[in-house]
Structure 1
Amino acid sequence: MEASLLRDMLIIYALAAVVVAIFQRIKVPPVVGFLLTGVLAGPHGLGLVGEVHQVEMLAEIGIILLLFTIGLEFSAAQLKQMRLPALVGGGLQVLGTAGAGAGAALLLGQGPGQAVFWGFILALSSTAIVLKLLQEKAALDSPQGRTVLGVLIFQDVAAVLMLLTIPFLAAAGTGGAAPAQAGWGLLLKGLAALVLLLVGARWVLPWFMSRMAATRNRELFIIAVVVILLVVLWLTSWAGLSLALGAFLAGLFLAGSRYSHQAVGSFMPMRDLFTSLFFVSIGMLLDLRFLLAHPGWVALGVGAVLVAKTLLAGGAALALAQPLRVALGVGLMLSQVGEFSFVVAKAGHGVGLISPQGYQLMLTVAVLTMALTPPAVWLGGKLAARTQQITLPRPPGMPAPADQDLMGHVIVVGYGINGQNVTRAARAAGIPYVVVEMNPLTVRRETAKGEPFIFGDAMNQAVLEHAGVLTARVVVVAIADPVATRHIVATVKDLNPALHLIARTRFLQEMGELYRLGADEVIPEEYETSVEIFARVLRRFLVPQAEIERLVGGLRAEGYEMLRGLEMPTEHGPDISKLISEVDIVTLQVMADAAAAGKTIAALGLRAKHGVTVLAVRRGRETLANPGADTVLTPGDFLVLMATPSALEGARALLR
């Protein structure tokens, strides 16, 4: 038996390594490769692993380990941070899909308990596949990513509640008093176990883990975590509850302690291995003969699930006032049947809520919808570009935007940290601005404060025109969605090529494409972080501030090419630093007690004595370009100066 298990494990992981490597080259997510590995190695494929009992054991171990690691990473803070997409979006998606699935099952002749059970199965989506796709697209912090993540968190919680209701659904299906009494007995037993677990998590677990952590022995700490997992599994098994639920609770209890980060760090290297084992074991349960024998039912099921879940999840996103392109992406991201559905289906199969044939149909449909998710999301990205100009009605309670008659103003797209800093600076400098934001709660809150906000998607040309893009002087794109940023840059430059466009991006490799689309300046967060670290290191070594500013200015003057050899388009004109060597252009303010206050430019001798040229003076909302020598400088004036770094130091002394 032991030798057989080792042989099966060797076959599984060796085959998985080959399949996943091939799929990596053709850009198919590894999860699909693990599923295919299970299909090939399983008893219904090539028969490399023929012991059904061992397959079930591997599946049980995979489920336990998957839910334990998910529980370790679960946090109430996550739910609080995304409470709107989680509670509203997740609630609408789960209830809507479960209701639609139950209704379809009733029409097909299933009993009430079985119909609700089918609704549960279909309501859940694949956390593993969806998060992997979002990470690959760098879209976790985009509106689509935040909405999807909120819905997935709600689904994770709902799946646990679904597991608790399965005995009652089974009792309702039998229609007898004994099953109902058994269900109530199971509930009471489960509540008793839950009380014991909560007491242990509140008092016993911290005491035990503090003793283990005090030893500073990594191996002992890991053993302690495993002991906690096994204790919780034993208690939930005694109560007649699912081992999967016990694993999730064990992870959840540890996640709430101050040792959660160390526990996650200890188990994360094994997480991918455990998750892959779960998906391989699920693939082993897929019967290819069933697929070949019932192609019509399988095709109908796959099509119905993809279409229905896309529409229902997309509708939930629309209810959150997301634009149509985001709703379409959310719907396609959540259109598959998820891994938690396997857990729920297996638990229901054990109590007779689903027939063996129905179980195989569910497995087949689930695996195929998972495999079709990546191409469906890719297709959705193409379709989203065609829907970006469709304007949907404003959400209820959303104030109508005021007419914009601004000239020479700044348009800020996105009101995250970057957008807030830009508006704060514009407000302090007296520069007119308007903000385009997609979050309805933010728009309501800021509009009530009198801030100039417009609700809408900046990818929509009508929204940009309403914000005054045709008369704007500067547009700042400060959102985290790289796909939307590229579309907005292209649309803005098509509408008004003369304005100055500044785009925020996360990574250096995205800069070239944004410049090609017309951006005048691209600020990569990755590079700016490195520049700030660079400057702080120099300060620790007591390098003069003037020298630090010169070095940092040199880095930026080279167009972010000194650390990375990026080739930018030449149509933006030559770098001025290459034409005028060692010359900087800076803006300095005349302070109230400065030597320059109340004097003319000629009297200061900025050019004659210091070699500094005054290009412009900004006074309030007025800008004096190329001011004369008799221009009197007043406190609060901003001077645009051109000179060498050393000459500018003398000017700073006069203006401070």
Structure 2
Amino acid sequence: MEGQLATLFTGIVVVFLIAVLLLIVLYRVKIPSVVAFLIAGFLAGPSGLGLITNEESISFFAELGVIFLLFTIGLEFSVSRIFKSRRYVLIGGVVQVLSTIVIFTALMQITGMDLAHAFFWGMLVSLSSTAIVMKVLADRMEVDSPHGRATLGILIFQDLIVIPMVMITPVLAGTTDTDVSLARLLIGSFVIIAVVYVAAKYVVPALLLHAARLKNREMFLFIVMGTCLIVAYLTSEFGLSMALGAFLAGIIISESEYSTHAMSSILPFRDLFTSFFFISIGMIFNLQFFIENPLIIAELVLLVIGVKYATGTLASLLAGLAPRACVMTGISLAQVGEFSFVLATTGTSLGFFAQDSFQLFLDVSIVTMGVAPLLIGLSGKIAAPLSSPLCRIMPDRSHVEETEEQGPEDHIIIVGYGLNGKNVARSADIAGVPYRIIEMNPDTVRDEKAKGKPIMFGDAAQGEVLKKAGIAKARVLVIVVNDPFGTQQIVQTARMLNPAIHIIVRTRYMGEVATLMDLGADEVIPEEFETAVEIFTRILYTYLIPTSEIDRLVSEIRAGGYQMLRSINTPSYSFDDLRVLVPDVEMRTIRIAEDSQYAGKMLKETMIRSTYQVSIVAIRRGQQMTVSPGGDEMLCGGDLVMVLGSPEDIIRAFSA
């Protein structure tokens, strides 16, 4: 036993070393970490260097990885959030899965396969990899993009449809205990649904509340982990997937107010075990079989990618996405998923696979999973040419939800109606500046249009959509979308249609600024850098550095990368210079209390300057600011006053 543990431990250490080296190398060429784990598994496995031959041990950790991954996805997507994505889950998911099954079943029958086996292959291919797709989209910060939301909605449906797929597999195989299996699965499904409801409504929230009150981190962690593993165990006992049970467990906790803390507690475990899943997938890749059958594997890989790209694009198109986002969704779904391995294992025990056909399925699946991160990474670049035919076929699809035919002039065009887009629109409303919004989420368009917002559905990377929004007569274009390549195309198209328009872009990273400026953006505001500037500014305000000095410092910081929306270039002097000229001077902001001796008095009646040598240099009352107030200015309770004087004098003046 000790020898087996030592061998397993040695193998894991070797795999980790290989993975670390590959991560370092591939990171430099911007290849996703998933690929590094797949290659590490292959190199360490039987078909590679043969460092690990006990695949069952690694598979155990891999299954834990899938369980924790699906658990965290359940945490992130509560029932209410799934309901909001119902368009993608119900329409997109149903269309994608059914169309893939129908097409692949027909293709397999053409090769001479009988209907039951062909249908089983269709089910296997219809599922995509939640583990790979969500990790890549999360790394690229595209989960909240239009194609990210659609992809996730379809993946959720795929994860849920595994239950009936497992249920009908014995029916397809024609086994004698079909009725018993179906009855057990049906009973199990009802039991699990009941357990999930009761646990989500009563049990888990009460336990988590108790742990939170006691401030016992260990108890909280064990309740979270226990919920995940218990529900996973229950689903497996009724013949369903443990990963599916973990997903349901995540939904249970997501309905409580402790889901965020639970996510932070489970995150390290998920990342560790998920890497084992990818490594185990790489280990089962049979290089010898691949070398002996390269043509048929290549043909099937291209067929799977092509069919799933087409069905994913069609599904998202019917769900209401713009052509470009549909193409990116189709590319994201163009691989075989981890639940396909679960279903394949069930099929193997029922005689659906000969040894060669099972290995063929494994190699094809692993290749599609291996190239998936690369394809998703390229999806933004190749989406434009691939979506052009869709735009020609459906010329009006981009602006179905258009506003009035004749738009305003000298207006703002806002691309993206998330938090930043809403803030821009709100500011424009206050200032009385006309604007139009372009948004790719059909639900958002419908809801905001009902409120009277000048919003239209469409992909702003398409020139026709920008024209419909009045790009020729607009003064400013504000782009606030979570799609780096889409943003670049929007900038390029807008600059071509209106060379004089002022383009302001919000991006996530400083590294994207130069590219966007080269494409024609006038101002690029990187989130990560601007957040640091804002923190820096708040710190300076805390130290009572004058506004003019703060503006000068911030302008110098921004000058190297971008120009801000507004900059104040008034001459300024350092507060330190003032301290040299007037020793011990300080500027402080103080609120006048309702019962203060100064409340209700004119400034000259307070005698603050003559008594305490303290000067009131500004008074703020509500939204009104009075600078250098005169002696007749009244002080009221609740006023904020900015005073200048020595610390001791200020304390004496306002401590009474």
Shorter-chain TM-score above 0.5 = yes
What is the CA distance between 1:278 and its match in structure 2? 1.3
What do residues 557-612 of structure 1 show as CA deviations (whole Å, max 9, x unaligned)?
A: 44724xxx43789xx9xx9967x7459xxxxxxxxxxxxxxxxxxxxxxxxxxxxx
Mean CA deviation greater in 331-340 or 93-102: 93-102
Residue 40 of structure 2 is aligned to residue 42 of structure 1: no
CA contact (8 A) 1:286 1:364 kept: yes
What is the CA distance between 1:35 and its match in structure 2? 1.8
What is the CA distance between 1:60 and its match in structure 2? 4.1
Distance change (3 Å), C-alpha of 1:186 and 1:151: closer
- Unaligned stretches of 5+ in structure 1? 584-644
Amino acid at match of 1:350: S
SS in 2 for 1:560: helix
Q: Give the aligned partner of residue 627 of structure 1.
A: none
Q: TM-score, normalising length from structure 2?
A: 0.76
CA contact (8 A) 1:515 1:568 kept: no
What do residues 504-536 of structure 1 show as CA deviations (whole Å, max 9, x unaligned)?
A: 333444333333333333344445544554555
What is the CA distance between 1:434 and its match in structure 2? 3.1
SS in 2 for 1:503: strand
Identity rate, percent: 40
What do residues 149-196 of structure 1 show as CA deviations (whole Å, max 9, x unaligned)?
A: 32223333333x24xx424321342254x3323432443355446545
CA contact (8 A) 2:380 2:486 kept: no
- Unaligned stretches of 5+ in structure 2? 574-624, 634-656
Q: Give the aligned partner of residue 558 of structure 2.
A: 560
Distance change (3 Å), C-alpha of 1:172 and 1:379: closer
Q: Give the aligned partner of residue 370 of structure 2.
A: 371
Amino acid at match of 1:97: T
Amino acid at match of 1:433: Y
Q: Give the aligned partner of residue 173 of structure 1.
A: 173
Mean CA deviation greater in 261-270 or 393-402: 393-402
CA distance in 2, matches of 1:429, 1:220: 52
CA contact (8 A) 2:205 2:253 kept: no
Query: Matches of residues 572-583 of structure 1 in structure 2 within 5 Å?
Result: 581=571
What do residues 608-628 of structure 1 show as CA deviations (whole Å, max 9, x unaligned)?
A: xxxxxxxxxxxxxxxxxxxxx
Match of 2:89 among 81, 86, 89: 86
Mean CA deviation greater in 270-279 or 201-210: 201-210
Q: Give the aligned partner of residue 325 of structure 1.
A: 324
Q: Give the aligned partner of residue 506 of structure 1.
A: 508
Amino acid at match of 1:566: G
SS in 2 for 1:45: coil
SS in 1 for 2:290: helix
Amino acid at match of 2:271: D
Query: Matches of residues 538-617 of structure 1 in structure 2 within 5 Å?
Result: 543=544, 547-548=546-547, 550-555=548-553, 557-558=555-556, 560-561=558-559, 565-566=560-561, 581=571
Amino acid at match of 1:349: T
Distance change (3 Å), C-alpha of 1:278 and 1:407: closer
CA distance in 2, matches of 1:532, 1:170: 61
Q: Give the aligned partner of residue 15 of structure 1.
A: 18
CA distance in 2, matches of 1:29, 1:519: 29
What do residues 318-371 of structure 1 show as CA deviations (whole Å, max 9, x unaligned)?
A: 223433322222211111112222233223333434443332122111111122
CA distance in 2, matches of 1:7, 1:322: 49
CA contact (8 A) 1:242 1:347 kept: no
What is the CA distance between 1:308 and its match in structure 2? 0.8
Distance change (3 Å), C-alpha of 1:496 and 1:122: same
What do residues 14-60 of structure 1 show as CA deviations (whole Å, max 9, x unaligned)?
A: 33333333332332222122222222222333322223544554544
Residue 493 of structure 2 is aligned to residue 491 of structure 1: yes
Mean CA deviation greater in 265-274 or 433-442: 433-442
Q: Give the aligned partner of residue 136 of structure 2.
A: 133
Distance change (3 Å), C-alpha of 1:77 and 1:537: farther
Residue 266 of structure 2 is aligned to residue 267 of structure 1: yes
Q: Give the aligned partner of residue 105 of structure 1.
A: 108
Q: Give the aligned partner of residue 304 of structure 1.
A: 303
Q: Give the aligned partner of residue 588 of structure 2.
A: none
CA contact (8 A) 1:106 1:115 kept: yes
Distance change (3 Å), C-alpha of 1:203 and 1:456: closer
Q: TM-score, normalising length from structure 1?
A: 0.76
Amino acid at match of 1:505: T
CA contact (8 A) 2:322 2:397 kept: no
What is the CA distance between 1:274 and its match in structure 2? 0.2
Distance change (3 Å), C-alpha of 1:222 and 1:475: closer
SS in 1 for 2:477: strand
What is the CA distance between 1:285 and its match in structure 2? 1.9
Amino acid at match of 2:269: M
SS in 1 for 2:438: strand
Distance change (3 Å), C-alpha of 1:375 and 1:193: closer
What is the CA distance between 1:3 and its match in structure 2? 2.8
Distance change (3 Å), C-alpha of 1:403 and 1:227: closer
Distance change (3 Å), C-alpha of 1:471 and 1:151: same
CA contact (8 A) 2:402 2:455 kept: no
Q: Give the aligned partner of residue 610 of structure 1.
A: none
CA contact (8 A) 2:323 2:459 kept: no
CA distance in 1, matches of 2:25, 2:312: 32
CA distance in 1, matches of 2:426, 2:218: 51
Query: Matches of residues 114-133 of structure 1 in structure 2 within 5 Å?
Result: 114-133=117-136
Residue 30 of structure 2 is aligned to residue 27 of structure 1: yes
Amino acid at match of 2:522: D
CA distance in 1, matches of 2:48, 2:300: 22
Match of 2:80 among 72, 77, 80: 77
CA distance in 2, matches of 1:462, 1:232: 51
What do residues 107-146 of structure 1 show as CA deviations (whole Å, max 9, x unaligned)?
A: 4444544433322221222223323333443433332222
What is the CA distance between 1:449 and its match in structure 2? 5.7
Distance change (3 Å), C-alpha of 1:57 and 1:478: closer
CA distance in 1, matches of 2:401, 2:159: 35
What is the CA distance between 1:470 and its match in structure 2? 2.5
CA contact (8 A) 2:55 2:283 kept: no
CA contact (8 A) 2:55 2:280 kept: no
Q: Give the aligned partner of residue 515 of structure 1.
A: 517
Amino acid at match of 2:168: F
CA distance in 2, matches of 1:468, 1:493: 13
CA contact (8 A) 1:401 1:455 kept: no
CA distance in 1, matches of 2:428, 2:291: 65
Distance change (3 Å), C-alpha of 1:345 and 1:72: farther
CA contact (8 A) 1:20 1:33 kept: yes
Q: Give the aligned partner of residue 466 of structure 1.
A: 468
CA distance in 2, matches of 1:310, 1:560: 42
Distance change (3 Å), C-alpha of 1:395 and 1:460: closer
Query: Matches of residues 94-493 of structure 1 in structure 2 within 5 Å?
Result: 94-159=97-162, 161-162=163-164, 165-174=165-174, 176=176, 178-189=177-188, 191-192=190-191, 195-196=194-195, 198-199=197-198, 202-210=201-209, 216-386=215-385, 390=391, 392-395=394-397, 398=400, 402-404=404-406, 406-447=408-449, 451-493=453-495
SS in 1 for 2:30: coil
CA contact (8 A) 2:69 2:270 kept: yes
SS in 1 for 2:400: coil
CA distance in 2, matches of 1:257, 1:337: 33
CA contact (8 A) 2:69 2:131 kept: no
Distance change (3 Å), C-alpha of 1:649 and 1:492: farther
What is the CA distance between 1:301 and its match in structure 2? 0.9
SS in 1 for 2:266: helix
What is the CA distance between 1:307 and its match in structure 2? 0.7
Distance change (3 Å), C-alpha of 1:246 and 1:394: same
Q: Give the aligned partner of residue 610 of structure 2.
A: none
CA contact (8 A) 2:65 2:270 kept: no
What is the CA distance between 1:79 and its match in structure 2? 1.4
CA distance in 2, matches of 1:555, 1:102: 66
